[in-house]
Chains A and B, each alone.
Chain A
Amino acid sequence: MKNKTFVFNITLFIVLFVFPIWGQTSVVKINVINPPTNLPLCKTRIKTAVSNGTATTIFSVLIPRSLELDVDGSTVSYKTESNNYVFVFEGDAGTCETKATWYEITLSGPGQINSGSNSAPTVVTSVATSPAPTELEAKEENKAETKAKEVDFSIPESPGFTILGLTPQEVTRPATPREFATAIINSIDRNGNLQSGIAIDTAPYQSFFGKSVNRDRDYIDFQDDKKPEEKNREPLKHYLTRFLWRTQFSLATTKGTTDADKSARIGAGLNFTFFDFGDPNTDFLLRACNDGVNDELDDQALKDIGVNRRADLTQALQPLFEARKRFLITQGFMIKKYEACVDDSEKRNMGKSSFGVGLAGSWISKNGESSKFNNNGQGLWASLAYGFEGIPGLRCTEDEIKDETSRCIAPQLIFHFRRRVKETVPDPLLAGVFTTKDSNLFGVRLRLGVPRWSVNFEGVYRGERFAGKKSSSNFEMTIGADYKLATNLYLNFSIGGETKDKSNTTGGSKVFVRTSFNWGTSQKPIN
């Protein structure tokens, strides 16, 4: 430290006495208002501004490692080069990358940069300039403490897996889809064969036309005269945009991994969500919450730069206002406020009513070779989810939603019907031989959960007819759970049993276990 101080003193001497003699530089004093709690490992970035009255230039100041906390009260020289203001330091400038440690400083000095120009710019004085890290730097800084939270819950069941009969639950849940999601699955199918698969789901309208969608103009009815909690989230206005936004295309492929079934299957399907009262894009309370934090951000930024009223903001201070806001949104206390809005929205929208219809086609290669795919029939299904809205005790109140300690659980009852025709399946009586079947399925699923996990109770009645055989039917009960393991990573698990087929074609009752992993990604992930 002493050596560094010595170097610093030498630097100070050079800055104070040598540079001025050259007449090319000026000096300002750094006053640290809010020193960092940790010593910077390398260079430290300080962002500040210089104004000439009508224009303000923002630039970064890199404090060398050698100065460390002694930067308070130190002096920094600067010079002009082609209209750029360059801060000059001597000593250990370091070779490692700039670390995300910032000082809050003011600069005070002679008031003019000795650039030799008559229109010499002046340093902004008596203003708390804030170091403003870039957003990517800030994200790195806050990565560890930023918990993964999604507004749109777990990844909706893939229509591609639905047609292939490989969803963790038979009763699929309608929901507003993400722009892009992927899922992998390992599951034992209804015929007792192990299947591995992958699905890619996209929302084409979001991908191709999302940039042009303006929430208030195209997606919702703002309903100015109503309070946020009173607004209709599914009005007729802009219904078509919401319908298209929620339309999902899915492509899935699976491969049997047992001798009895080595087939490969492809499923391609569309899912149409006709309404979804849990769509976070129509959550006016989430928006009101964000609006409040946005106001607080503006007010805090103005206060921090010494401005009491918006009308008092001068042109010279305006860049500092923006820089301060960027800095504040990197700070934990402000991030937490935005996160709280999202958390509350998750709880509020969990298990709300929605309705969706899906249709899909399927192709099969019986021996698993990619060149021999044949038609595997079609499927059509509908899911109606009821969220018990308006029934006291079955929906979380706003007080429970805002209470972080509350374990409010939202139930959702889902009714599902599916028609599947000309499905090629292994013959239940002859190993290695395939046959076709048509089936109808009606199921009910009770889903209980919080945003991070849910438990499902499911009952399914299935009627099916194999080619050349009599119709048969059975009943299936399943208990399952899905749990959010990490950001965009979900584990699904279910266990159940089914009754013996009445026609006795499938050889008796079964107990089965299904597990799957789902993960989702956004369009442009940041690593």
Chain B
Amino acid sequence: MAGEKVAKFSKDGGPLEIEIEIGQNKTGKCNFFLFDKNGNQLQNGSGKKTNNIFQLNGTLKELDGALLTWDATINGPNQPGQTWKVTMTIRQDGQAIKGGVNPNGDPPTFQLVHVMDDKVRLEV
């Protein structure tokens, strides 16, 4: 798909892990879903900390072409103009892979609660 984000990992490296961080001193809940190239779900997870680390299941071969989606429900004060930042990082052997650092942030600013989501295609 044109414009799709792609993260490249090494077929000879170790397993992939992802970290979803909620910044700006906000809290919230994050989810991730991993789909194979046929659109079937391989794995999902959720976390309520502001730095959540998940190990991706499946062999690197299975992950080639997989789609990783993540979302976060961010909580803040009931006051307009709240800023937010969510960063999803994919690491292999402890290092962020190419295209693996995915920051998202305002605008728009929010009040009380905000939902964001994004996705990236994993490729060797």
- The residues of A with any CB-CB pair to B shorter than 8 Å are 53-55, 83, 135-136, 139, 146, 148-152, 206, 210-219, 222, 245, 280-281, 287, 290-291, 294-295, 297-298, 310-316, 318, 322, 325-326, 329, 335, 338-339, 341-342, 487-488, 521-526
Contacts and interface: CB of A to CB of B under 8 A. Distances in A.
12 contacts: A136-B108, A148-B78, A214-B25, A222-B49, A290-B27, A291-B29, A294-B29, A310-B46, A315-B39, A325-B73, A487-B79, A524-B81
A150 B108 contact: no
A211 B83 contact: yes
Contacts of A339: 78, 112
B50 A280 contact: no
A215 B26 contact: yes
Of B2, B49, B106, the most chain A CB neighbours within 10 A belong to: B49
Contact of A150 (B21, B79, B115): B79
B70 to A, nearest CB: 10
B81 A281 contact: no
Contacts of A150: 77-79
B51 A216 contact: yes
A522 B35 CA distance: 40
A280 B77 contact: yes
A522 B82 contact: yes
Given A150-B78, A290-B75, A310-B44, A217 B39 contact: no
Contact of B79 (A291, A322, A522): A522
Given A215-B25, A295-B29, 16 more contacts: A55-B1, A150-B77, A210-B83, A211-B23, A213-B23, A214-B50, A216-B50, A298-B46, A313-B44, A315-B33, A315-B35, A316-B39, A329-B114, A488-B79, A523-B81, A525-B81
A53 B41 contact: no
9 shortest A-B CB distances, which residue pairs? A522-B81, A315-B39, A294-B29, A524-B81, A315-B35, A290-B75, A526-B80, A213-B25, A322-B117
Contacts of A523: 81, 83
B21 A151 contact: no
Contact of A214 (B21, B35, B110): B21
Contact of A522 (B37, B44, B46, B80): B80
Contacts, number: 147
B51 A326 contact: no
A314 B41 contact: yes
A58 to B, nearest CB: 11
What is the predominant secondary structure among interface residues of chain A facing chain B? helix
A322 to B, nearest CB: 4
Given A214-B50, A313-B44, A315-B67, A294 B75 contact: yes
B85 to A, nearest CB: 6
A281 B27 CA distance: 9
Interface size of B as a range: 35 or more
A44 to B, nearest CB: 22
A53 B39 contact: yes
B72 to A, nearest CB: 9
Contact of B39 (A294, A298, A314, A488): A314
Nearest to A134: B108
A342 B78 contact: yes
A172 to B, nearest CB: 23
B117 A212 contact: no
A294 B71 contact: no
A54 B79 contact: no
B111 interface: yes
Contact of A526 (B50, B77, B109, B117): B109
Given A338-B112, A522-B80, A287 B27 contact: yes
Interface string B38-75: 11110010101111000000000000000101010101
B29 A54 contact: no
A291 B30 CA distance: 10
B7 interface: no
B122 interface: no
Interface string B70-112: 0101010111111101000000000000000000011011111
A325 B46 CA distance: 15
Of B26, B29, B38, B73, the most chain A CB neighbours within 10 A belong to: B73
B18 interface: no
Contacts of B120: none
B124 interface: no
A83 B79 CA distance: 40
Nearest to B87: A214
A326 B25 CA distance: 22
A439 to B, nearest CB: 37
A309 to B, nearest CB: 10
A383 to B, nearest CB: 24
Contacts of A315: 33, 35, 39-41, 67, 69
A135 B80 CA distance: 12
Of A212, A245, A280, the most chain B CB neighbours within 10 A belong to: A212
A313 B24 CA distance: 30
B39 to A, nearest CB: 4
B15 interface: no
Interface in B5-25: 21-25
B112 A342 contact: yes
